[in-house]
Amino acid sequence: MPTAHVYPAFFMIATMMLVGWAIARRSGFYTRLITPRSNSRYESLDGLRGFLAVGVIVHHGMATYTRVTTGLWSVGNSATYGLFGTAAVAMFFMITGFLFWGKML
């Protein structure tokens, strides 16, 4: 399969979201964790950080696939897979910096 196809990545992300939703619905432990408790947390940022972490997982998965098939550690010729890693890491660190700055103040 050419590395430019992004359909496997979207399928993998959708599968992870479905599994996470099923676990959160069935487990009392996770239900208590995702129930809003106070205004001191940014739950929407937690969700965004989760999506960004999945983007990094997809990026590393594609880099590993390319390494196994060609011997080069790269994501091939796909700009989408490249952005899954670089943009996700940059945004993840920006959000983390924002959260830490609030704690420092």
Name the domain count of the chain: 1
Q: Is residue 47 part of a domain?
A: yes
> Which positions ≥6 away from 6 have C-beta within 8 Å?
78, 80, 81
Closest CA to 82 of 90, 94, 74: 74
Instruction: Please report, for residues 2, 25, 48, 58, the alpha-carbon distance to residue 8 in angstroms, rounded to integers and kept in the order given.
Output: 11, 26, 21, 9
- Residue 1 in any domain: the answer is no
The reply to whether 53 falls in a domain is yes
Domain that holds residue 78: 7-104
User: What is the maximum alpha-carbon separation in the chain?
Assistant: 50
Give the predicted TM-score (pTM) of the model: 0.69
Structure tokens at 36: 């809003």
Each residue's pLDDT tens digit in the chain (105 positions)?
Answer: 455 677 877 887 888 889 888 887 888 777 676 666 666 677 778 778 888 888 888 888 888 888 898 888 888 777 888 888 889 999 989 998 888 887 787
In a domain, 60, yes or no: yes
Domain membership of residue 92 (yes or no) is yes
11 in a domain, yes or no? Answer: yes
